[in-house]
Amino acid sequence: MKRASLVRFESIVPIRRGSRAETVPLVTPELGSTMINGVSTFEPGTAIPLHTHNCDEIVIVIEGEGECELEGRTYPVKPYDTTFAPAGVAHCFRNTSSARMRILWTYSSARVTRTIVATGETFEHLSEQDRAVVESR
């Protein structure tokens, strides 16, 4: 059942993604939403490998700097830079700076999968397998 909600960022226990990244899910299916979003934090030198999703994704850099790879091109990113990756488009974010980087992500579906380009492995978003794919550079 859908219900209007106020989600307080500080009330959510972050999901650890290795020792150098974490994710805070915000709007989730438990609220009845057909979309999900959250914030992921990457320490310096941290990245998620090139991947695709089964749905569209919007990412807004909200803190720090780094780079994103989108359809084979790499771009520097800074706060408020925004990407749109349609379902099936390979992309990733890397913190190439010496400070923390945070992104706000939104998926167009409440059921999200991630497929790692290098291996072809597919798993549910934020599952145990997904939490383990963070890389340090």
Of the chain, the percentage scoring pLDDT greater than 90 comes to: 85
In a domain, 24, yes or no: yes
pLDDT at 133 over 90: no
CATH number at residue 23: 2.60.120.10
Number of domains comprising the chain:
1
Is 73 in contact with 42 (CB distance < 8 Å)? no
Domain of 94 in residue numbering reads as 13-136
Handedness of CA 129, 113, 93, 30 (dihedral sign): negative
Mean per-residue pLDDT for 76-105? 98
Q: Of 71, 77, 136, nearest to 103 (Cα)?
A: 77
Q: Give the helix/strand (H/E) hosting 63.
A: strand 57-63
pLDDT tens for 13-59 read 999 988 899 999 999 999 999 999 999 999 999 998 999 999 999 99
Taking the CB of residue 135, how many other CB atoms lie within 10 A of it? 14
In a domain, 1, yes or no: no
In a domain, 34, yes or no: yes
In a domain, 83, yes or no: yes
Name the residue type at position 121: E
pLDDT at 69 over 80: yes
pLDDT at position 137 is 65
Number of helices (H), then strands (E), belonging to the chain: the values are 1, 14
In a domain, 5, yes or no: no
pTM of the model: 0.93
pLDDT at position 136 is 73
pLDDT at 67 over 70: yes
DSSP 107: E
Which residues are bridge partners to 10 per DSSP? none
Distance in angstroms (rounded) separating the CA atoms of residues 108 and 114:
14
* Mean pLDDT, the chain, whole residue set: 94
pLDDT at position 99 is 97
In a domain, 53, yes or no: yes
In a domain, 6, yes or no: no
Per the model's pLDDT, the better-predicted residue between 137 and 34 turns out to be: 34
In a domain, 42, yes or no: yes
